[in-house]
Structure 1
Amino acid sequence: MNANNSMANRSQENTSAEAALLPPVDVFEDASGITLLADLPGVPKENLTLQLESDSLTIEGEVRLATPEGMESSHAEVRVPRYRRVFSLSRELDGEKSVAEFRHGVLKLRIPKAEHAQPRKIEISVA
Structure 2
Amino acid sequence: MNDITRQETSRDVETRSTQERTLLPAVDIFEEDEALHVIADMPGVTRDTLRIEVDQHILSIEGDIQVDMPEGVSATYAEIQGNRFARRFTLSHEVDTDAIRAEISNGVLNLVLPKRESHRRRRIEVQTA
Q: TM-score by structure 2 length?
A: 0.76
Q: Deviation of residue 108 (structure 1)?
A: 0.6
Deviations 1:57-97 (CA, angstroms, capped at 9, x unpaired) = 00111112344322333443321221111111111111211
Q: RMSD across aligned C-alpha pairs, in angstroms?
A: 1.7
What SS does the corresponding residue of 1:31 show, helix, strand or coil? Answer: coil
Query: Letter of the aligned partner of 1:86 in structure 2?
Result: R
Equivalent in the alignment of 2:59: 57
Q: What CA distance in whole angstroms lies between the structure 2 residues aligned with 1:106 and 1:67?
A: 22
Equivalent in the alignment of 2:38: 36
Query: Letter of the aligned partner of 2:75 in structure 1?
Result: S
Query: Letter of the aligned partner of 2:103 in structure 1?
Result: E
Equivalent in the alignment of 1:89: 91
Deviations 1:34-63 (CA, angstroms, capped at 9, x unpaired) = 100001101111111111112100011111
Greater alpha carbon shift after TM alignment, 114-123 vs 52-61: 114-123
What SS does the corresponding residue of 2:23 show, helix, strand or coil? Answer: coil
Q: TM-score by structure 1 length?
A: 0.77
Query: Letter of the aligned partner of 1:30 in structure 2?
Result: E
Identity %: 39
Equivalent in the alignment of 2:73: 71
Greater alpha carbon shift after TM alignment, 115-124 vs 71-80: 71-80
Q: Deviation of residue 122 (structure 1)?
A: 1.8
What SS does the corresponding residue of 2:98 show, helix, strand or coil? Answer: helix
Q: Deviation of residue 24 (structure 1)?
A: 0.4
